């Protein structure tokens, strides 16, 4: 049963031009979007009930459009309902559409029901991490002294650490050891105590995700890829430590034997460190490429920032609490992991659409990477190949995809011809043809943009 246009989230005002800007990029985040989100209120933006602009509110490039009424809601129903009845969408479908500027709920069918969200749950992981950790925080990998001639490589949880970054860390470590007069021969250990609990996801060792470790290089990939499925090492931390030992030897530091697992002392002297890109950039990369390793790392960073164990269970609890604190509808939500690979994850279409609207709030610029990281239809990430050059909705739809066997989902934003920014979520279960289901979801998203007539 679809819901009428009822205001649910007051005071949402997004700089629509910022969300659709093309660049430039700065550290992974569109600089124009970030700057606009933090711009002074004098340029426009949200207003108090008395008409005065809210202090510090993010500006709005477009003035609020007329309040959506019955005709608007009925128009969406007329456009969407035939498309959502497509047999390619399987045995169950849910949908929700929200005006991201006003918070009005414009359309819904099965919107409160719990569905397996697949990778669209990464939107929840992103919002929780940005709320708990902050967009500017960086994750460090460090080397500390361990008494005598010992050194410890300490994993901080950066899955984006590359061989180049590890080389920089080895170079800085060699210089520090030389300065301390202990650069001749060292005993190397590695510390993975920042995380706890099982390291394997419920799907086991898989080419979609490495064992979840706070210490890994290139996401444990055994090839030169930086995204998508790939063979993974079963021992990402030990492999990283062995590579680090080899790099130290290249720098003239003799390493005694093979590195073993150890534990850094709490007040150990720091010798060197390298840092990840900021969390905002990690969120964008995770959403654009649907990166499972980054997703699980961000979920654990949320747990650490919330004082919970950095395990699958602790991360799930921390993410859930952060989402509830954002005032989102939680009855149909169950977080089992950060990536959406776990079929025990549950979310409603209403939850996902309102989460996207929440990320558009002028008072929450820290959440803006949830929007700027969305793949652009026909141009980037997991939507690059789903909207051919002549496809309706190309460049107009920005959305997170989700795919598991029998599950296809899509949640994102679209700008209508009159300039209104809509947040939407479409969830389908019991699908049998992933390609056909994806095309059906893409047609529905395109219809929101007015780019395709119903039924095409």
Q: Residues 119, 131, 311, 446: which is the catalytic one? A: 119
Phi, psi torsion values for 334, nearest 5 degrees:
-135, 120
- Each as own residue / partner, the long-range contacts of residues 194-197 (CB below 8 Å, 24 or more positions apart, any chain) are 194/154, 194/155, 194/156, 194/157, 194/304, 194/310, 195/155, 195/157, 195/300, 195/310, 195/311, 196/309, 196/310, 196/311, 196/314, 197/309, 197/310, 197/311, 197/312, 197/313, 197/314
Between CA 89 and CA 331 the distance in angstroms is 24
Q: Is 131 a catalytic residue?
A: no
Return the C-alpha torsion angle 412, 415, 416, 417, nearest 10: -150
Distance CA 140, CA 278 (A): 10
Q: Which residues of 55-88 are buried (b: 16+ CB within 10 A; e: fewer)?
A: eebbbbbbeeeeebeeebbeebbebbeebbebeb
Question: Can you read off the two tokens belonging to residue 261?
Answer: 């697992």
Of the candidates 134, 129, 123, the one whose C-alpha atom is nearest the C-alpha of residue 398 is: 123
Q: Using CB atoms within 10 A of its CB, is residue 307 exposed (0-12), middle (13-18) or buried (19+)?
A: exposed
Rounded Cα gap, residues 23 and 397, in angstroms: 17
Helix (H, G, I), strand (E, B) or coil at 364: coil
State the Cα–Cα distance between residues 358 and 337, nearest whole angstrom.
21
CA max distance for the chain: 78
From the list 72, 122, 348, 429, the catalytic residue is 122
Reply yes or no on whether 122 is catalytic. Answer: yes
Considering 72, 213, 276, 290, which one is annotated as catalytic? 290
Joined together, the tokens standing for residue 202 give: 């419920």
Q: Is 290 annotated in the active site?
A: yes
Of 403, 327, 316, give the one whose Cα is nearest residue 359. 327
**Residues annotated as catalytic (active site), given as ranges:** 119, 122, 290
């Amino acid at each position: 049963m679809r819901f009428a246009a009822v205001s649910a989230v007051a005071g949402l005002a997004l700089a629509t031009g910022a969300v659709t800007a093309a660049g430039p990029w700065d550290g992974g985040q569109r600089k124009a979007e970030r700057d606009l989100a933090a711009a002074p209120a004098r340029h426009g933006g949200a207003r108090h009930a008395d008409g005065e602009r809210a202090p510090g509110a993010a500006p709005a490039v477009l003035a609020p459009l007329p309040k959506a009424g019955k005709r608007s809601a009925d128009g969406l129903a007329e456009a969407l309902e035939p498309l959502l009845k497509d047999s390619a969408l399987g045995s169950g479908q849910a949908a929700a559409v929200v005006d991201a500027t006003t918070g009005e709920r414009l359309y819904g069918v099965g919107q409160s029901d719990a569905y397996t969200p697949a990778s669209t749950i990464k939107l929840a992981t992103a919002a929780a991490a940005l709320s708990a950790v902050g967009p500017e925080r960086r994750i460090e990998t460090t080397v500390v002294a361990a008494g005598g001639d010992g050194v410890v490589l300490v994993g901080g949880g950066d899955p984006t650490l590359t061989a180049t970054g590890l080389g920089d860390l080895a170079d800085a470590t060699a210089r520090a050891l030389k300065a301390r007069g202990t650069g001749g021969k060292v005993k190397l250990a590695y510390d993975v105590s920042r995380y706890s609990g099982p390291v394997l996801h419920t799907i086991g060792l898989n080419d979609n995700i490495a064992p979840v470790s706070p210490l890994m290089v290139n996401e444990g990939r055994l090839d030169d890829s930086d995204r998508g499925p790939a063979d993974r090492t079963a021992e990402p931390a030990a492999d990283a430590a062995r590579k680090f030992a080899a790099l130290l030897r290249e720098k003239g530091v003799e390493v005694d034997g093979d590195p073993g697992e150890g534990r850094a002392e709490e007040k150990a002297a720091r010798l060197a460190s390298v840092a990840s890109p900021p969390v905002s950039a990690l969120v964008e990369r995770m959403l654009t490429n649907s990166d499972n390793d980054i997703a699980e790392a961000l979920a654990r960073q949320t747990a650490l920032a919330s004082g919970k164990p950095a395990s699958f269970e602790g991360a799930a609890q921390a993410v859930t609490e952060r989402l509830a604190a954002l005032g989102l509808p939680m009855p149909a939500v169950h977080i089992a992991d950060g990536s959406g690979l776990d079929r025990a994850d549950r979310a409603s279409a209403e939850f996902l659409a309102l989460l996207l609207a929440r990320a558009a709030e002028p008072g929450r610029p820290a959440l803006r990477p949830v929007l700027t990281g969305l793949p652009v239809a026909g141009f980037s990430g997991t939507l690059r190949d789903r909207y051919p050059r002549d496809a309706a909705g190309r460049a107009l739809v920005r959305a997170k995809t989700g795919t598991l066997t029998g599950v296809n989902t899509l949640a994102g934003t679209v700008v209508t011809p009159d300039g209104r920014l809509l947040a939407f979520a479409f969830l389908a279960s019991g699908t049998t043809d992933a390609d056909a289901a994806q095309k059906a979801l893409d047609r529905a998203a395109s219809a929101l943009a007015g780019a395709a007539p119903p039924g095409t």
